[in-house]
Amino acid sequence: DQQVKQNSPSLSVQEGRISILNCDYTNSMFDYFLWYKKYPAEGPTFLISISSIKDKNEDGRFTVFLNKSAKHLSLHIVPSQPGDSAVYFCAASGGSNYKLTFGKGTLLTVNP
Amino acid sequence: EAGVTQFPSHSVIEKGQTVTLRCDPISGHDNLYWYRRVMGKEIKFLLHFVKESKQDESGMPNNRFLAERTGGTYSTLKVQPAELEDSGVYFCASSQDWVDTQYFGPGTRLTVL
C-alpha cells in the first residue's frame, strides 16, 4: 500500500518556465513533508521541506505548497533551469515516526 | 565537511553468497538510517540507529539482513545468504537529531545473480 504517490513518472518543461511536481499522500499521521532531488549515481539531496502547520514554504526558486484537506503537496520551480533536470522524490514522516516514506519519483527534464 | 560515504559503490555477487555494505555517516551525526530502492519501486526504510542502538528495524525484510553500528560511528549491513530479490540500491542517511534533515550517501548498487 503506497502511502505517498507521485502519479507523474516524468515531466518535461522549457527552460525559464515553471515546473510543477505533484505528490499525494494517504496517511493522516504525516506531518512533515520533504522534497529530495536525485541525479544519476548519486544519493537523494534534500531540497525543501514543509511542516503541516504551514501551507507554503519558499526557498529561492523553489516553493512547496501543502493542501492538508486534499492531502496534496506540490513543488514549484520558477524559473526552471537545465541543471534542475533530475528525479524529484516526495517524502513524508509523521509524529514520532522519523522514518521517511517516499514516493516513486518524477523525472524532470528541463529543455534549453 | 565530508558527506555520508558508502562502500562499495557497486557489488555483484552470486545467489547464496554474503555481502557486507558499509556506511560512514557525517561526523557527529548520532542518527543513521538504511534505505533500499528496488528497481522501479520507491525508496523504502530499512532501519534506524541512534548511536549504536537500533531504534527501529521494522523495515528489515527478513533475518537474512543484519545491521550493526559498533561504537556508534560507521554501520554495516550484511546480507547472508543473498537472494535475487535483494538486488537494488542501498542508501544510507544520517542526521544530527532525529528531527533533523536526513543527508543521504551515494548508495551501493547490489546485483545478485
Question: C-alpha grid cell for residue B92?
Answer: 544510507
Q: Give, for A32, the enclosing helix (H) or strand (E).
A: strand A32-38
- Give the per-residue pLDDT at A44: 95
- Residue A97 has a pLDDT of 62
A vs B: CB pairs below 8 A: 49
Residues B94, B72: Cα–Cα separation, whole Å? 12
Does the beta-carbon distance from B103 to A100 stay under 8 Å?
no
Residue A7 Cα, gap to closest chain B Cα (Å): 12
| Cross-chain Cβ contact A100/B102 below 8 Å | yes
Q: List the single residue in A34, A99, A103 with the smallest CB-CB distance to B42.
A: A103
In a structure prediction context, what are the per-residue pLDDT tens digits for chain B, which is 113 residues long?
689 999 999 999 999 999 999 999 999 999 999 999 998 789 999 999 999 999 999 999 999 999 999 888 999 999 999 999 999 999 999 998 877 789 999 999 999 99
Q: Which of B45, B56, B105 sits opposite A100 (nearest CB)?
A: B45
CA distance linking residue A66 with residue A54, whole number of Å: 7
DSSP assignments along chain B, one per residue: ----EEE-SEEEE-TT--EEEEEEPPTT--EEEEEEE-TTS-EEEEEEEETTEEEE-TT--STTEEEE-GGGS-EEEEESS--GGG-EEEEEEEESSTTSPPEE---EEEEE-
Q: Element (H or E) spanning A57, and its range?
A: strand A56-59
- A1 interface with B at CB cutoff 8 Å: no
